[in-house]
């Protein structure tokens, strides 16, 4: 079965979210410097990266929003690996009626807005980006969704300081994946979705290699 990569590349200095610094990618140990420690003809390189957790395509756990929420180390694999995907086409504000009649229980619900076409441009962070309403988020919580993702700059509208989608989803223990891409390559149902972050204690958010297995 083919694999579809749903993550953006992480590059030195790139912009993910307006106002957040880009990652700094460099070398801790170069091939040349490593030669002093190994036999002739043997060399290694060790890279290093400094970045905020909200870089590239990333997953939010409840600790991103709630002080008593579980962090990355507390994230069950059943919440982010090999999930049946339900892909919902949306344009602009996503209301509850977008999920009417859909079997979202136990699924990763992926909002396909096409906003990823603006990735790497000033338009990507525009406050007019697609987002999920409080009513839409509540419908997914009530419907039993296991994970919710979007190919936009934020799952919430960012014109105010309110974040109802994050609050409702993370409050229900539903992880959120933002800045997805290539959702156009997925069928509406039938794919299997995975977005697993490293198991870091004390961190709430981290980049993932999100992908789908397509039948």
Range of the domain at 165: 3-11+52-213
8-state DSSP, 26: E
In this prediction the pTM is: 0.97
Round the average pLDDT of the chain to a whole number and report it.
97
What does the pLDDT read at residue 1? 80
**Rounded to an integer, what distance in angstroms lies between the CA atom of residue 149 and that of residue 191?**
14
Q: Say which CATH number the domain at 81 has.
A: 3.50.30.50
Q: Is residue 21 part of a domain?
A: no
Please tell me the total count of domains within the chain. 1
Mean pLDDT of 200-208: 98
Cite the DSSP H helix spans in the chain.
31-34, 134-143, 164-171
Mean pLDDT of 21-31: 98
**Rounded to an integer, what distance in angstroms lies between the CA atom of residue 129 and that of residue 178?**
12
pLDDT bracket for residue 91 (50, 70, 90): confident
Q: Is residue 30 part of a domain?
A: no
pLDDT bracket for residue 201 (50, 70, 90): very high
Cα radius of gyration rounded to whole Å, the chain: 18
Mean pLDDT of 148-174: 98
Q: Is residue 202 part of a domain?
A: yes
Q: Is residue 17 part of a domain?
A: no
Which tokens hold the place of 77? 């694999």
**Rounded to an integer, what distance in angstroms lies between the CA atom of residue 193 and that of residue 139?**
21
């Amino acid at each position: 079965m083919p694999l579809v990569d749903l993550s953006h590349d992480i590059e030195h200095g790139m912009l993910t979210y307006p106002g957040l610094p880009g990652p700094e990618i460099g070398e801790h140990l170069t091939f040349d410097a490593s030669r002093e420690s190994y036999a002739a003809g043997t060399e290694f390189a060790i890279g290093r990266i400094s970045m905020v957790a909200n870089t590239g395509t990333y997953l939010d756990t409840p600790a991103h929003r709630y002080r008593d929420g579980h962090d990355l180390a507390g994230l069950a694999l059943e919440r982010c690996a090999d999930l049946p995907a339900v892909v919902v086409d949306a344009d602009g504000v996503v209301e509850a009626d977008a999920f009417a009649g859909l079997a979202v229980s136990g699924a990763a619900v992926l909002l396909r807005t096409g906003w990823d076409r603006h990735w790497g441009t000033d338009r990507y962070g525009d406050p007019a980006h697609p987002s999920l309403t409080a009513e839409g988020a509540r419908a997914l919580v009530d419907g039993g969704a296991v994970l919710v993702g979007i190919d936009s700059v934020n799952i919430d509208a960012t014109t105010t300081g309110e974040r109802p989608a994050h609050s409702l989803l993370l409050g229900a223990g539903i992880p959120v994946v933002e800045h997805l891409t290539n959702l156009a390559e997925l069928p509406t149902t039938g794919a299997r979705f995975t977005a697993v972050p490293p198991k870091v204690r004390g961190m709430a958010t981290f980049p993932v290699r999100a992908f789908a297995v397509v039948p």
